Copies of this chain bind each other. A is one copy, B any other.
Amino acid sequence: MCGIQRSLARDIPGAARTKPDGEVMVSGWVHRIRDMGGISFVVIRDRSGMVQLVLPEAVKAPPAEGPALAAGGVSSAGITLESVVCARGRPALNEKAPGGAEIQVSALEVISRARSDLPYQVNGDAAKMGLETILDNRLLSLRNPRIRAIFNVQATVIEAFSAWLRSRDFTEIKTSKLVWGGTEGGTELFEVDYFDRKVCLAQSPQFYKEAMVASGMERVFEVAPAYRAEKHDTPRHLNEYVSLDIEMGFIESEMDLIELERGLLAHIFEETARKNAADLALWKAAAPDPDCTAKAPVVGYEEAVKLASKISAEAGGARIFDINPEAERILCEWSAKEYGSELVFVNEFPRRYRPFYAYPSDANRTMSFDALFRGLEITTGGRRQHDYDAFVETLPRFGLKLENMQNYAALLRYGCPPHGGFAIGCERLTARILGLASVKEASLFPRDRKRVTP
C-alpha cells in the first residue's frame, strides 16, 4: 500500500526531527476532517495514536458513493470519516497537531471506504454518550480512543496479574466451563444442551482450582470467563465476566491470601501507571498508590459493619446491618482517609454468608474475606475446608447431600493440604481503576439479560 513501509502515528514526530526530507507512509482510520476549501486537515488514528495529514486539493481520493455527509464528514479530497486510508508524504513538526507532528501528503489511497451513513459519532465525546448508545453501537464505540483505552488498561491488568503470579511459582491452568452443577449452589446457573443431557456453565473454577492445588501443583491461577444467571441489571453485575482466579496450598489462614492480594494489586497498579499513563489520562484517572495498597488495612466483619453504620449515622444516613454496597463505599472512604489506601479487606465473614467450603475459624465465623476497592467489592476469597471428615459433617448445614458431592469428596479424601484462594472480577477492577460508572463499560461485548449481540 502506498509503496513504502508503514510508520505508526507515534513515530512521526521522531521522523520529522531526524529525516524531514524523507517520505513516510502511515495508514489508519479517518478520525476527523477539517475542510478549508483548497486544503484539508485529516486526522487519522492507528493503534499507536493519531497523526494529522495535510492534504492539498490536488490529492484526490475517488469520489465517495452515496449521499455526502454534512460539513465535516467528507473532505474536499473525497474522504469519508472512518475510512481506512494510507498516505505518503513528508513529516513536519507542528505543535498544534495531535501528537505534535503532521504529514504534508503527496499521495493518498483509500483502502476501505466507510459508507457515509455512520450511525455513531466515533470522534465525539464518549463521556457525553449514554451507556445504551455506547453498547448499541459497540463495533463503532470501541473505535473511540477513550473507550478503547479501557481495554488497554484491562490487557495490562491481565498481563500484570499473570506475570506476578508466575514469578511466585504459580502455574496457569485452563479448566472446563461445562460442569455438572454449581459449586456455589443456588439457582443462578445457565443450562447448556450437551448432546443428550443438560450441563451448566461454570459460575467459577472453584472446584477445579482446588483440585489442581490438591494435585500437587499447589499454586495455580486461571483467567477465564465465569457465568451468573442473575436477573438483576445493575452497574456492578455482568452475566458473563472474566474471573482472575487464584488458589494456593499450605496456608495457615486467610491472612496469607490477603498478604498475597496486597502485593498482587500493588504490582497491577504499578504496571498500570507505568504502561497506561495516556489511557489513564483520557479518564482523568490515577492508579492507586502501590505502597499504600501493599499495606491495605484488614477489618473484621462485625467491626466493619459497626464502623460503617456509625459513619453512616454520623452523616445522617441509615443504619447498616451488613456489608452492602453503601457499606463498601463508606469503608473505602474510611480506609483512604485513615490509611491512604483505596483498598480495604473485610475478613471473618459469618458462616451463614459463605458457602460450605469456607473454613470455619469458630462456630460462627469463617476464614474468608472480601476486598473492597474504591467503593466496590472486587474479590471474595478465603481458606477452604480441606478436612474430609469436617466436610462430610458440614454438608447437611448447607442442605447438601454427600451423594451429590462425590467429586468434592474425592478431592478431599486422598490427601489435601490446607489451602485457599480468591478471585478478582477483571471488569470490576478495570472499572474501578478508571472510575467507570458501570462494569459493563469494562466488558468488550457485555452480556446482560437483554443484550447478547454483537
The minimal Cβ–Cβ distance linking A383 to chain B, given in whole angstroms, is 14
In the complex, the answer to whether A112 meets B386 with C-beta atoms within 8 Å is yes
Closest to A116 in B: B414
Is A133 interfacial (CB-CB < 8 Å)? no
A237 to chain B, nearest CB (A): 14
Instruction: Contact check, A143 vs B215: say whether CB atoms are below 8 A apart.
Output: yes
> Which of the candidate stretches A52-60, A154-162, A298-306, A352-360 sits at the interface with the other chain?
A154-162
A394 to B178, CA, bound (A): 35
**Interchain nearest-CB distance for A45 vs B (Å):** 5
Chain B: minimal CB distance from A22 (Å): 21
CB of A190 within 8 Å of the partner chain = yes
Contact B214 A139 (CB under 8 A): yes
Please report which residues of chain A, range 404-445, place their CB below 8 angstroms from some CB of chain B when the two chains form the complex. 407, 410-418, 426, 443-445
- Are A407 and B193 interface neighbours, CB within 8 A? no
Residue A159 contacts which of B27, B172, B447 (CB distance < 8 angstroms)?
B172
Query: How far is it, in angstroms, between the C-alpha of A418 and the C-alpha of B6 when the chains are bound?
Result: 14
Q: Are B217 and A47 touching (Cβ within 8 A)? A: yes
Partner of A180, one of B169, B217, B453: B453
Asked if A242 CB lies within 8 Å of chain B CBs, one says yes
B240/A176 in contact, CB under 8 A: yes
| Of listed A1, A29, A224, A454, residue having the most chain B CB within 10 A | A454
Q: Of A194-202, A259-267, A395-403, which stretch is located at the interface?
A: A194-202
**B190–A190 CB distance below 8 A:** no
* B190:A192 contact, CB within 8 angstroms: yes
A174 and B414 form a contact (CB under 8 A): no
Verify B148–A216 contact, CB threshold 8 A.
yes
CB of B194 within 8 A of CB of A193, answer no
- Tell whether, in the assembled complex, residue B452 and residue A179 are in contact, meaning their CB atoms are under 8 Å apart: yes
Within 8 A of B (CB), among A1-51: 1, 6, 27-30, 45-48
Q: A139-B411, A151-B171, A452-B178 are in contact. Are A112 and B212 (CB under 8 A)?
A: no
Task: Identify the closest chain B residue to A197 (Cβ).
Answer: B452
Task: Tell me whether A142 and B112 are in contact (CB under 8 A).
Answer: no
Determine whether the beta carbon of B452 is less than 8 Å from that of A417.
no
* Closest beta carbon of chain B to A282's beta carbon, Å: 14
- Chain B residue numbers with a CB within 8 Å of A414 are 82, 114-115, 118, 139-140
Encoded as 1 (CB less than 8 Å from any B CB) or 0, chain A from 186 to 224 comes to 000011111101010100000110011011111100011
- Cβ-closest chain B residue relative to A174: B242
| A446 CB contacts on chain B under 8 angstroms | 176
Flag whether A324 is at the interface (Cβ < 8 A): no
CA distance A426 to B178 in the complex (A): 18
Please determine whether A173 and B115 come into contact, CB atoms closer than 8 angstroms.
Answer: no
Contact status B417-A173, CB under 8 Å:
no
Q: A354-393, CB under 8 A of B: which get 1 and which 0?
A: 0000000000000000000000000000000011100000
Given contacts A139-B211, A139-B215, A142-B215, contact A152 B174 (CB under 8 A): no
Q: How far is the CA of A212 from the CA of B290 in the complex (A)?
A: 31
Cβ of A111 under 8 Å from chain B: yes
Assess whether B82 is in contact with A415, with CB atoms less than 8 Å apart.
yes
Give bound CA distance, A158 to B220, whole Å. 14
Residue of B nearest to A453 (CB): B180
Q: Are B195's CB and A174's CB within 8 A?
A: no
Whether the pair B177, A177 counts as a contact (CB closer than 8 A) is yes
Q: In the complex, which of the residues B192, B219, B231, B416 contacts A191, with contact meaning CB atoms closer than 8 Å?
A: B192
* Given contact pairs A151-B217, A194-B239, a sample of 17 additional A-B residue pairs in the complex whose CB atoms are under 8 Å apart: A112-B415, A112-B416, A114-B414, A115-B388, A115-B413, A115-B414, A139-B211, A139-B215, A140-B414, A142-B211, A158-B174, A175-B444, A190-B192, A193-B193, A195-B229, A224-B224, A410-B454
Q: List 25 A-B contacts (CB under 8 A).
A: A1-B250, A6-B250, A27-B417, A30-B415, A47-B219, A112-B386, A112-B387, A112-B417, A142-B217, A148-B216, A155-B172, A159-B162, A174-B223, A174-B242, A175-B444, A176-B445, A178-B452, A180-B453, A192-B201, A194-B452, A195-B229, A208-B444, A223-B223, A224-B224, A225-B225
- Please give me the 9 A-B residue pairs with the lowest Cβ-Cβ distance, nearest first: A47-B218, A114-B415, A142-B215, A82-B415, A114-B414, A176-B445, A407-B454, A155-B172, A84-B415
